[in-house]
Amino acid sequence: MTLPVPTTHFTDPTVLVTLVGPDQSGVTTRLFEAVSAHDVEVIDVEQLVVRGKLILSTLLSAPDDVTALEHTVTEVAEGFGLQSTVEHGTGDNRPRRVGRARVIVLGSPLRPAALAALAAEIRRLGGNIDRIIRMARYPITAIRLEVSGADPDLLQADLAAVAYEHGIDLAVREAGIGEHAQRLVVMDVDSTLIQGEVIEMIAAHAGYEVEVAAVTDRAMRGEIDFADSLHQRVALLAGVPLTALDDVYRSLEYTPGARTLIRTLKRLGYKFALVSGGFTHLIDRMADELGIDYHAANELEVVDGHLTGRLVGTVVDRAGKAEALRTFADHAGIPVKNTVAIGDGANDLDMLAASGLGIAFNAKPVVRDQARTSVNVPYLDAIVYLLGITREEIEAADAAD
């Protein structure tokens, strides 16, 4: 099979036609109908509408009579009350520079000073912002900067400091075909998928909620070993009736946006897993309710309908969460580099590091400092913006259902 060869080369003369003004029906059609009377090739086209204002640019090969083309463009523009420019150049259709990345910025609010600082840092790193696209306008503002010419790893490292200074969140993803691959999302449960800590809710039935909460907080900050802390806390649950777990389950509140996140990504073929330091009695039911594909958690020992204060089997601790991620990825046939991990505590750090995209969600400082990406807004579905999905696309899919 012989592929067609472009007739316009990088060194050939070109003209860049730009129309700007109030958006209205028929502009694009009329422009290309009119310029078709000239012997030109369309090399590139970009069109944007912002708050009713149209910006339409097309790069054309230069015709023999450029003056006639300029006259045609002027007539089209004047017919719609638009401003027009025709710029002469050479080629200008080269591939974008190496080091292509997408920088996703989340703000609530997103202020001009933050964007100015990000743009300045991108420029300092040798990058160029080729395009800016809005991903969402509520309940947070999310935008995507398409950047070329800068190393994505350097962007991630240096822009993180700018984001922290200005109170915004961001993620840097290397642009490429891998963006479109099927993914596995692995989530922590307590204070991530749900609000609050399950073990503290169970402890309330035993009268030890304050004591358990204190140990939980130290473990999540990484001050004490998670497995040791878990055994200490579970021991305080001895004698709690198993029926108390039913009460706890009925009282659970999912994090805002949790169902939207799962519903949206499962439409696209994503797989989901829950990996929790919590307990199977509750995680199994959550997985069934939400349509989760895989899950792993700790098992409480029960005798005569009451908790004994002991665990059964191996503890799902910090190392166990990372191993579960790798196991689930293998079962799903998805490369580990195509996994997304979401967590908030120190026991999630190995899992976040092992994944392709580790996201610290409203996390403890020790976790935010070590995770590559941090999200500090209270909406779990903000994660979809980091994966390139817009709020409008989510709403359209929900409406279609």
Query: Which range is most confident: 155-164, 231-240, 284-293?
Result: 284-293
Residues 167 and 124 in one domain: yes
Q: Residue 65's domain is classified under what CATH number?
A: 3.30.70.260
**Number of continuous H segments (helices) and E segments (strands) in the chain:** 15, 15
Percent of the chain with pLDDT over 90: 71
Indicate the number of domains in the chain. Answer: 3
Report if residue 224 sits inside a domain. no
Report if residue 354 sits inside a domain. yes
**Residue 369: active-site member:** no
The backbone torsions φ and ψ at residue 353, rounded to the nearest 5 degrees and listed phi first, read -70, -35
CA distance 14 to 60: 6
Residues 56 and 155 in one domain: no
Report if residue 212 sits inside a domain. no
Report if residue 233 sits inside a domain. no
Task: Determine how many CB atoms are found less than 10 A away from the CB of residue 38.
Answer: 18
Q: Is residue 344 within 8 Å of residue 375, measured between CB atoms?
A: no
Last residue of one domain, picked from the residues 154, 179, 204: 179
Last residue of one domain, picked from the residues 90, 110, 144: 90
pLDDT band for position 219 (cuts 50, 70, 90)? confident
Residues 76 and 119 in one domain: no
Q: Residue 287's domain is classified under what CATH number?
A: 3.40.50.1000
Tell me the pTM: 0.82
The whole-number average pLDDT for the span 80-92 is: 85
**Positive or negative: CA dihedral 86, 90, 94, 100:** negative
Query: Which among 169, 188, 317, 350 is annotated as catalytic?
Result: 188
Residues 189 and 309 in one domain: yes
Report if residue 346 sits inside a domain. yes
**Residue 65: active-site member:** no
Residues 134 and 69 in one domain: no
Residues 269 and 340 in one domain: yes
Residues 189 and 287 in one domain: yes
pLDDT in tens, 272-295: 999 998 899 999 999 999 999 999
Q: Which long-range contacts (CB under 8 A, 24 or more apart) does 256-259 make?
A: 256/378, 256/379, 256/380, 256/381, 257/379, 257/380, 257/381, 257/382, 258/193, 258/194, 258/290, 258/380, 258/381, 259/290
Query: Which among 12, 23, 92, 190 is annotated as catalytic?
Result: 190
How far, CA to CA in Å, does 201 sit from each of 6, 218, 244, 371? 67, 17, 9, 28
Residues 107 and 71 in one domain: no
Residue 67 domain boundaries: 13-90
The predicted structure's pLDDT at residue 4:
54
Classify the phi-psi angles of 136: left when phi > 0, otherwise alpha if psi is within -120 to 50, otherwise beta.
beta
pLDDT in tens, 356-390: 999 999 998 889 888 889 999 999 999 999 998 99
Report if residue 110 sits inside a domain. yes
pLDDT band for position 92 (cuts 50, 70, 90)? low
pLDDT in tens, 332-351: 999 999 999 999 999 999 99
Look at residue 214 and tell me whether its pLDDT is greater than 80: yes
Report if residue 5 sits inside a domain. no
Measured distance between the N- and C-terminal CA atoms of the chain, rounded to whole angstroms? 42
Residues 360 and 264 in one domain: yes
Residues 125 and 77 in one domain: no
Residues 111 and 85 in one domain: no
